Structure 1
């Protein structure tokens, strides 16, 4: 199933898409798509749920996200474009929760940003608490999948010293959504096509088959070093075509429109604005 959250920021309601792609209200079944609900997403009779009128804002499909964890250099072809050796173990970093943004909300460049970049990524949504789980057990702890755009300010990340977090955590730099898609509907998560466009020009083309560390490995690995809680989101790395990998390099500017899509997970779109 494809679950969504809709409505104004901070007041989103749970919803679900029916077989015709129409939005139906789920608030009579669950209060929110958050916490323990994610480990037991409700089976529903779609046709008996009320249709949502109009075209409401679509928000982040997961409420109360506790952690936004990210994996770096996890696509073999992306590592190659950066002339980087594929890592022997997952590279782990965090994005501040204050960067989390709706899938169609504007991305705001900070005042000093000059090298803002794009990264379409498969997002894992944790459904059940995971601590010291094995790869064989990992998928039992996954509620579903979504799209994450790991927007990155490369000057902050590479030139300002310290951790990558500096370039990854700017406000609005973590668009998530539009849908939370359950594993049964996704099917083979290791064979999903991915793409990202800027102003209609294709920048990234990839497939999850090129992931160095697959979903079960990532969940199991992270669970050895931190407890994963329901609602935590993991961004799993990006395919080639990021701005800093182009020759010459390309970066986002005010007025650009960025569109990211992953097969079976939908698409998101953001206009680039600059902070006042």
Structure 2
């Protein structure tokens, strides 16, 4: 099931996305919130009549870096130590103020001259969890959505912490909706800029699986319903300029599209 969050006539609601093709999609409004048992109201509105919002409002976004070998290589980062042992996952936060939805604008930050796109599969958590064993990971996942870990690459290179480089306002597009029934083990991930393909990879190429990432993160912290895990980006990251339209498409989910504008 595809679950969207949207606004219409000043009201915000969740809805189940029904139909095929952009012109035939409708939203069946959900009674309550989708993380618990819910009912469909039977009240339906065309997708074309609403504004899509970020599909969730996370308490936190936990992002994982260097989870695709070719991407780590293109930025000159090692994935094993001097003794051939895998490096531990690189985890960082993106604040809730960085989250925007499909169709919202990415604002080019004034403190950067090198903005990059990073197409990623996002995991949406469905229940409060901590110290999740590997065999229970599927029980805590609500679904999956598309993400773009927009990065001020020049700032990332010159500052030891990535908070500004990856946490600035509008740096975390999510959407267009959450797909709750999906096998994420081998999905195509693509990023295009102005229609030109930049990134093309598969989730099967992740160094660490979704199960490993959830176990690793929840060893340290509690995840709440609506929290998001970004699982890393395949190779092909590259520049974004004001006026560009960037689209992230993930097999079985859909396409997240955002335009880059000048901040202010």
How far, CA to CA, are the matches of 1:8 and 1:53 in structure 2?
10
Alignment match, 1:247: none
Q: Say whether residues 1:75 and 2:68 are aligned partners.
A: yes
Tell me if 1:12 matches 2:12.
yes
- CA, structure 1 residues 110+25, in 2 after alignment: closer, same or farther (shift >3 Å)? same
Secondary structure of the residue that 1:138 maps to in structure 2? helix
How far 1:54 moved relative to its partner?
4.0
Q: Does 1:162 align with 2:124?
A: no
Find the counterpart in structure 2 of residue 57 from structure 1. Answer: 51
Deviations 1:224-266 (A, max 9, x none): 00111111101010000011xxxxxxx2111111111100110
How has the CA–CA distance of structure 1 residues 53 and 9 changed in structure 2, closer, same or farther, with 3 Å as cutoff? closer
Please identify which structure carries the higher strand content: 2
Q: Against the structure 1 CA distance between its residues 14 and 115, is the aligned structure 2 distance closer, same or farther, given a 3 Å change threshold?
A: same
Q: Alpha-carbon deviations, 1:154-201, whole Å to 9, x = none? A: 122111x2311220011111000101111xx21x21110010011111
User: Of residues 12, 18, 22 in structure 1, which corresponds to 2:25?
Assistant: 22
For these two proteins, the number of residue pairs brought into alignment is 255
Q: Which residue matches 1:256?
A: 244
Verify the 8 A CA contact 1:157 1:167 in the aligned structure 2: yes
The reply on whether 1:228 has 2:223 as its aligned counterpart is yes
Q: Per the alignment, in what secondary structure is the counterpart of residue 219 of structure 2?
A: helix
User: Aligned partners of 1:74, 1:175: CA distance in 2, in Å?
Assistant: 19
- Normalized against structure 2, the TM-score is what? 0.90
CA shift in 2, pair 1:53/1:208, >3 Å: closer
Q: Distance in 1 between matches of 2:77 and 2:263?
A: 33
What's the RMSD between the two structures over aligned residues?
Answer: 1.9
TM-score (norm 1): 0.87
- 1:33-78 Cα distance to aligned partner (Å, 9 max, x none): xxxx42x353648xx4423374321111113x10011000001221
Q: Are the counterparts in 1 of residues 28 and 40 from structure 2 also a CA contact under 8 Å?
A: no
CA–CA distance in 2 between the matches of 1:193 and 1:233? 20
What is residue 82 of structure 2 aligned with on the other side? Answer: none
Give yes or no for the alignment of 1:200 onto 2:207.
Answer: no
